[in-house]
Structure 1
Amino acid sequence: MAISGAPLCSSALVLLPCLFVIAMAALQSGVVVLADAADTVAADRPLSGRQRPLVSNRGKFALGFFQPENSEHWYLGTWYNQISKHTPVWVANRGSPISNPDTSQLTIATNGNMVLLDNSRTAIWSTNISNFTSNSTVGVILDSGNLVLADASNTSIILWQSFDHFGDTWLPGGKLGRNKLTGVSTRLVAWKARNDPVPGVFSLELDPNGTSQYLLQWNSTLQYWTSGNWTGRIFTGVPEMTPTGSYPNSLYTFDYVNGENESYFVYDLKDDSVLTRFVLGEMGQIQFLTWMNGANDWMLFWSQPKAQCDVYSLCGPFSVCTENAMASCSCLRGFGEQNVGEWLQGDHNSGCRRNVELQCSSNGSVVGRSTDRFHTMANVRLPSDAESVVAAGFDQCEEACLSNCSCTAYSYNGSCSLWYRDLINLQDVSVIGSQGSSAVLIRLAASELSGQKQKHTKKLITFSVLATGAVLLMMAVLVVILRRRMVKATTRVEGSLISFTYRDLKSVTKNFSEKLGGGAFGSVFEGSLPDATMVAVKKLEGFRQGEKQFRSEVSTIGNIQHVNLIRLLGFCSEKTRRLLVYEYMPNGSLDKHLFGSNQHVLSWNTRYKIALGIARGLDYLHEKCRDCIIHCDIKPENILLDGSFAPKVADFGLAKLMGRDFSRVLTTSRGTVGYIAPEWIAGTAVTAKADVFSYGMTLLEIVSGRRNVQEQGGAAVDGLLPLLAASTLGGGGGGRDELVSAVVDGRVGVNADMGEVERACRVACWCIQDDEKARPAMATVVQVLEGLVEIGVPPVPRSLQILADLANQSNNLQFFSDLPSK
């Protein structure tokens, strides 16, 4: 997919700021024209901190001295000149900061090199070129952001360029690759901290072994992420950054060159007004960013690794990483920050150190083994570099660790794992609720978990229990009584789930007499609580889970709250009966409004808001919950509408509740045909991209007001709306007018926003690609529908092409015979 920034001056709200930016750009442009060589540094025209920065020919980039936020140091570098947010893209003196820029200068030395001199006139940075072929040289900042050392008489002759010496940023036009003759790579190296350009421990480079994949490395030695090999269109591990350079209207091209002397990747933009950059952040993630004028900030298109805590040694040794809204680092119990100042600046590489050293003698024997203790840390993803030992149980595993001075932790889960010396990559997963969580026992000195402390703690606990036992008992009895009364009265406590009895729900639903609908998971009935609150009660069918697991899963679903997700109010679990109680949606399910003959016709504006709301709900399930929740059955029947026609995704999380039998339920249930992703049928592993496929099919139905595939006698015939939309977008139609007439619901077509129609159809056709790696993430879908990014023209999926051939053979539909292939 290709992306671009939102249009400049995209709304009246930003018109005045835009005009101001344009005026300032014009003023700067005027200065460039009037001032002689304002983009050039020469021996007789040095650049110091007292002067204005040099500005490239068309004003896009600046070269000068700058000071990172909250830093006392100064650096020479290049940055974007025409945006409001100071964004350095290259720094010359990363490891040699300047204290006083007014007495420092960038100039051309007598040997022709470009040099940076500090206040003592010592060269702290140089282009360091020998054997010059030119008698006179100059430094020039180009509109690409490339700083070059060139022949003064002909600046097209470049002797050195910053694009051969990247910092943390890769700009369009720069080659990121490897010289096969010298073995030297052009790498991205992250800043040490957000305000410190000193080279950090994270780097990105083309595989030195000769493959076409990029590697993220820690300390230039340990690989923790790979892009996967280049297929000619995409990196196998990063399908969301598909360049679509071969498709019409793409905004950038991405090429891999594997020559005799070098191999490299390069990307270029077709629209110079778009600002994009690849950045290796100080937290070890590679990010693709686009400048959004409307938001006045950089918009993140994608980042890898997706989970920040998957970056190797992000928090340093003896520290734990917690993945929440943002990754955070904290020291383990019994440890403190190795370098507090660095931690305050966001640099956790040094990690943590013991408050009290272990009691081991210098010869390696263990002194007072019985005094050492272990602190249990539950719900964690275990550290790296474990060593397995033979142990019959927990006690033997602990003994194996205690018997070695270098052992710092152990874990036992049927097998014994020991860690020696530093603990790296320990992750707290209690917040995200990972299924693969374990417990690790951290070894601490005796004084950290002393017997005195333990005895004192036991006394306090005993005293507390005796002092409050009667009170707690009374409170427990009171809670039980209130709970029973609450259930009988079916009064809901805000922020919690009600445990209903089956008898209660029979009464609430008038013995399940008013059916609202049904689906793969069971039937839904209308109900009314004693306080007149309307509810929808779902009777789950074909359920296999035990009560404990059911309550655990229901509790997880009940804690999920989003404006576009249906809210779970309560549940019932009695013997084999499992029921869920949801908030009531007065406007029912989406399918009745799209396909029903007697329903109110949804306007285009309402449809577009519904499509965007569904996407936001799915994005929340996929990316922002503790665990990724795959819905597995997205279709109009499972989209409910509240009183103002705002959409709410229903039945989310039920696929997990149903367990292994769900695949059988889904593929045999009526109404799901036409929404199942190809991987369901192929029997391969199902990911969140299966929901993306179903969403694409649903989006096309929202646009058209008719089913994608009609059914007669159990067979799919006619319709083929996805093929019609894809072929029209791909060149089989006559542009937007043809798209509207061919795809959009005739009841709203004349009032539809043509730009939104094309945007919706494009993203829908990307969503239904056969290869799940080519489908966008729901976060990208949201950005496209919001108009924050543009999306290229999708190819026609091969499966639709085959379906067209079958239709052509059976019905002699000549229309399908000339469709473009993928």
Structure 2
Amino acid sequence: MRNLRDLRYALTTVSADQKLTGDQTLVSEGGVFELGFFKPGGNLALLDGSSNQVWSTNTSSPRSGSVVEAVLLDSGNLVLRDRPHDDASEPLWQSFDHQTDTFLPGGKIKLNKKTKKAQYLTSWKNLEDPATGLFSLELDPEGSTAYLITWNKTEHYWTSGSWNGHIFSLVPEMRLNYIFNFSFVSNENESYFTYSLYNSSIVSRLFIDITGQIKQLTWLESFQQWNLFWSQPRQQCEVYAFCGAFGSCTENSMLGPCNCLKGFEPKSLSDWNLEDYSGGCQRKTKLQCENSNASNRDKVGFQEIPNVVLPKEAQSVGSGNAGECQSICLSICSCTAYAYDSNGCSIWDGNLLNVQQLSSDDSSGETLYLKLAASELHADKSSKGTIIGIVVGVVLGVGILLAILWSRKRMLVSGKAAEGSLVVYGYRDLQDATRNFSEKLGGGGFGSVFKGTLDDSSVVAVKKLESFSQREKQFQTEIRTIGTIQHVNLVRLHGFCSEGTKKLLVYEYMPNGSLDLHLFQNKNFVVLDWKTRYQIALGIARGLAYLHEKCKDCIIHCDVKPENILLDADFCPKIADFGLAKLVGRDFSRFLATVRGTKNYLSPEWISGVPITAKADVYSYGMMLFEFVSGRRNSGELSDCDEDDQFTFFPTRAANIVAQGGNVLSLLDPSLEQNADAEEVTRMATVASWCIQENDTHRPTMGQVVHILDGILDVNLPPIPTFPQN
């Protein structure tokens, strides 16, 4: 807000003989609202090139000798009135009668019953252009007490339900209200909904977004940002034609809600970058019957798109089987897709609208067959060839692995080790190697770790499991998981000892110890610079991606935290301590009933009791990323105090600063003295915010995290995480 005393720029009233020009603004008396000229990429003028007037309120003073003035009220209403004026008198003109995209308390969205003229709340075209968009909110023109959201003033895709005297029946959030006073007025002249605030110090607004959703926001002064109170429709993909023709909508996608179907590309990439997807997508290659150049004509085929909500406006045709259904679509040039299910054959003629791709954990979708030029399908065949090659390679790899395992079995019987196999050590040998377990490197819930030197002078770390009656399962898990896999970012298990209750694991030695010793400013260890932290974060992501996505079965670590990340001589990170790990298979159908992990890194699923997937590791990794940035624990006692002396959980504070485009370097570990790449800090904090989303389906996979940190993949700003704060 500008300084109200600086009258060179801010005015409280504008008289008939005054002008509001340039950077001057009109400010309400209490300083709540400010009016100025909007300049979307240039100057906004009220005159055309010939200096002709293009807009006017068309009002004049009804009284001779009176002076007309413009006043911006604290309600946000711009009013033209006579001076002197009576507060009870009607204004000559007011902006509340001419709504744009925002509906403020005290305003109306009305229907004139005599003229049948409706008042609309209309979205912007895109993020930067306030021109009229496709989505609008209006009172039902048929005379009911329900509000409708429409696309292009033709398609109604949401209704509030009728007014029941207190709320709209299909907006249950209104029942939870403690801020607003709602009312619906209907008389012989007009019908309208309006609302006011119980507390006049609260600032709130309802607007229709470029997303096609209406959103009620309230201002949080302490965070200097708008807080979403409720929105409708709740799901983005419920908005009609949101992704345009041949666009596919995906809920809560980290890559954005809209993508073009296979074989299509955005008609206007610049519009898509401004989140205006209405133009949809166009074919990369024309179909045979659409191409007038006969010599270049391509044949056509069909691309299978599984697990989607089928587009609207299908035509049902009679056919006996899927093959006949395909033939019918193939014979009609304008047929763009077909589907065959228990309801028979459906085909789509012309543009496909409202295709929705469902998530992998929602199997309620249908299969759509999209007609494409053969050249687009050839690319898939090449991909299939690559996949076949990969499969052959995997088969060969499995054969080699079986040979290694057979060799390992012989080794276990004979007591001798083959190269690349686990070694079975005697307890006395390890006791000698560690000088009777005299040099302790660290410890945890499963036992202590000691430094040892083998007969070949190689240095190892020996983990001695304690209270073994309770640790047999963890011992077996460690051997079963890490004993058969190798990756540069996973600690290597050399062998083990199993003599009665004496159970020991022998790992490669990591001279720089565990990550927590460096990250949390232990005076005996070197402080990690930003470049090193970023590379460590990237290495951990690669290791977890390997466990989740590259192994035969998905391996969930279940205890990702700095203490379980070891650093070699070059500070290359190695994920360690697989005692809690779980092999769950690719379908994630196993239910993990026992809570596993460490308090500050536990995902919400562990507490709510829902099935656990690899996204639990993603959550823990995200919490750890915030510690990479701050250099301290995310625990409550180490939270920050903001400018208003309010406790702010660090992940929440970091997410807010990123969302507002604030100074991300202010989040950094003080020991770094802001010596870091701001883009990388932003990227890490953004990834972390996505990783700790309460709903696990909203979190990225670790493979996606690798691509983002590598700079290969761009992501949208995430919603502010709520679970850590709660």
TM-score (norm 1): 0.50
Partners of 2:582 and 2:183 lie apart in 1 by 54
Task: Give the 3 Å change call, closer, same or farther, for CA 373–349 of structure 1 in structure 2.
Answer: same
Find the residue that maps to 1:360 and give its secondary structure: helix
Structure 2 residue corresponding to 1:419, chosen from 345, 348, 352: 348
Structure 2 residue corresponding to 1:142, chosen from 62, 68, 73: 73
- Paired position in structure 2 for 1:210: 143
Task: Measure how far apart 1:37 and its partner are.
Answer: 10
Structure 2 residue corresponding to 1:180, chosen from 109, 113, 116: 113
Alignment of 1:55-70 (within 5 A): 55-68=27-40
Find the residue that maps to 1:65 and give its secondary structure: coil
Task: Measure how far apart 1:439 and its partner are.
Answer: 1.6
Partners of 2:101 and 2:248 lie apart in 1 by 26
- Paired position in structure 2 for 1:52: 24
Task: Measure how far apart 1:435 and its partner are.
Answer: 2.8
Structure 2 residue corresponding to 1:446, chosen from 374, 377, 402: 374
Structure 1 residue corresponding to 2:56, chosen from 126, 132, 135: 126
In the alignment, structure 1 residue 399 sits paired with structure 2 residue 327: yes
Task: Measure how far apart 1:461 and its partner are.
Answer: 6.7
Task: Give the 3 Å change call, closer, same or farther, for CA 275–318 of structure 1 in structure 2.
Answer: same
Partners of 1:277 and 1:562 lie apart in 2 by 42
Partners of 1:428 and 1:44 lie apart in 2 by 59
- Paired position in structure 1 for 2:650: none
Partners of 2:129 and 2:407 lie apart in 1 by 58
Q: Which amino acid in 2 is paired with 1:46?
A: K
In the alignment, structure 1 residue 350 sits paired with structure 2 residue 323: no
Task: Give the 3 Å change call, closer, same or farther, for CA 482–125 of structure 1 in structure 2.
Answer: farther
Alignment of 1:452-601 (within 5 A): 468=393, 471-475=396-400, 477=402, 508=473, 569-570=581-582, 580=592, 582-583=594-595
- Paired position in structure 2 for 1:359: 288
Contact preservation (8 Å) 1:243, 1:252:
no
Partners of 1:529 and 1:429 lie apart in 2 by 50
Q: Percent identity?
A: 38
- Paired position in structure 2 for 1:154: 85
Structure 2 residue corresponding to 1:339, chosen from 250, 253, 268: 268
Task: Give the 3 Å change call, closer, same or farther, for CA 353–783 of structure 1 in structure 2.
Answer: closer
Offset from partner CA, 1:626-673 (integer Å, 9 cap, x none): 9xxxxxxxxxxxxxxxxx999xxxxxxxxxxxxxxxxxxxxxxxxxxx
Q: Which amino acid in 1 is paired with 2:172?
A: P
Task: Measure how far apart 1:357 and its partner are.
Answer: 2.0
Task: Measure how far apart 1:371 and its partner are.
Answer: 2.3
Partners of 1:298 and 1:276 lie apart in 2 by 9
Contact preservation (8 Å) 1:243, 1:253:
no
Task: Measure how far apart 1:185 and its partner are.
Answer: 1.8
Task: Give the 3 Å change call, closer, same or farther, for CA 401–134 of structure 1 in structure 2.
Answer: farther
Task: Measure how far apart 1:269 and its partner are.
Answer: 1.0
Task: Measure how far apart 1:381 and its partner are.
Answer: 1.7
Task: Measure how far apart 1:379 and its partner are.
Answer: 2.3
Partners of 2:615 and 2:159 lie apart in 1 by 25
Offset from partner CA, 1:60-104 (integer Å, 9 cap, x none): 111111335xxx134xxxxxxxxxxxxxxxxxxxxxxx2xxxxx5
Partners of 2:170 and 2:35 lie apart in 1 by 36
- Paired position in structure 1 for 2:175: 242
Task: Give the 3 Å change call, closer, same or farther, for CA 483–133 of structure 1 in structure 2.
Answer: farther
Task: Measure how far apart 1:145 and its partner are.
Answer: 0.7
Contact preservation (8 Å) 2:591, 2:611:
no
Contact preservation (8 Å) 1:338, 1:352:
yes
Partners of 1:529 and 1:298 lie apart in 2 by 59
Structure 1 residue corresponding to 2:242, chosen from 310, 314, 320: 314
Contact preservation (8 Å) 2:298, 2:373:
no
Task: Measure how far apart 1:470 and its partner are.
Answer: 6.3
Partners of 1:335 and 1:382 lie apart in 2 by 17
Structure 2 residue corresponding to 1:329, chosen from 258, 264, 271: 258
Find the residue that maps to 1:301 and give its secondary structure: strand
Structure 2 residue corresponding to 1:73, chosen from 32, 35, 42: 42
Structure 1 residue corresponding to 2:180, chosen from 226, 241, 252: 252
- Unpaired runs of 5+ residues, structure 2, are 413-420, 425-445, 447-468, 476-500, 506-552, 562-578, 617-633, 637-718
Offset from partner CA, 1:143-182 (integer Å, 9 cap, x none): 1111122234436431221111111111000012211111
Q: Which amino acid in 1 is paired with 2:257?
A: S
Find the residue that maps to 1:444 and give its secondary structure: strand
Offset from partner CA, 1:329-381 (integer Å, 9 cap, x none): 12122212112221222111001111222222799xx9999921111112222
Offset from partner CA, 1:256-299 (integer Å, 9 cap, x none): 11222111111111222111111111011111111111111111
Partners of 1:483 and 1:257 lie apart in 2 by 82
Find the residue that maps to 1:59 and give its secondary structure: coil
Partners of 2:63 and 2:406 lie apart in 1 by 93
Q: Which amino acid in 2 is paired with 1:143?
A: D
Contact preservation (8 Å) 1:39, 1:142:
no
Task: Give the 3 Å change call, closer, same or farther, for CA 619–160 of structure 1 in structure 2.
Answer: farther
Contact preservation (8 Å) 2:291, 2:297:
no
Partners of 2:230 and 2:282 lie apart in 1 by 34
Task: Measure how far apart 1:405 and its partner are.
Answer: 1.3
Partners of 1:560 and 1:367 lie apart in 2 by 59
Contact preservation (8 Å) 2:9, 2:24:
no
Task: Measure how far apart 1:190 and its partner are.
Answer: 0.5
Q: Which amino acid in 2 is paired with 1:314?
A: F
Find the residue that maps to 2:125 and give its secondary structure: strand
Task: Measure how far apart 1:224 and its partner are.
Answer: 1.3
Contact preservation (8 Å) 1:568, 1:581:
no
Task: Give the 3 Å change call, closer, same or farther, for CA 483–377 of structure 1 in structure 2.
Answer: farther
Contact preservation (8 Å) 2:474, 2:580:
no
- Unpaired runs of 5+ residues, structure 1, are 1-23, 75-97, 99-103, 105-115, 245-249, 492-503, 511-527, 533-554, 588-608, 627-643, 647-779, 788-822
Find the residue that maps to 2:329 and give its secondary structure: helix
Task: Give the 3 Å change call, closer, same or farther, for CA 164–785 of structure 1 in structure 2.
Answer: farther
Structure 2 residue corresponding to 1:277, chosen from 201, 205, 224: 205
Task: Measure how far apart 1:235 and its partner are.
Answer: 2.1
Contact preservation (8 Å) 1:52, 1:64:
yes
Q: Which amino acid in 2 is paired with 1:304?
A: Q
Partners of 2:72 and 2:259 lie apart in 1 by 43
In the alignment, structure 1 residue 383 sits paired with structure 2 residue 311: yes
Contact preservation (8 Å) 1:226, 1:237:
yes
Find the residue that maps to 1:264 and give its secondary structure: strand
Aligned length: 478
Alignment of 1:658-673 (within 5 A): none
Task: Give the 3 Å change call, closer, same or farther, for CA 351–223 of structure 1 in structure 2.
Answer: same
CA RMSD across the alignment: 5.1
Task: Measure how far apart 1:572 and its partner are.
Answer: 9.1
Partners of 2:580 and 2:126 lie apart in 1 by 43
- Paired position in structure 2 for 1:221: 154
Find the residue that maps to 1:212 and give its secondary structure: coil
Find the residue that maps to 1:582 and give its secondary structure: coil
Partners of 1:614 and 1:470 lie apart in 2 by 38
Partners of 1:625 and 1:260 lie apart in 2 by 57
Partners of 1:529 and 1:286 lie apart in 2 by 64
Q: Which amino acid in 1 is paired with 2:307?
A: N
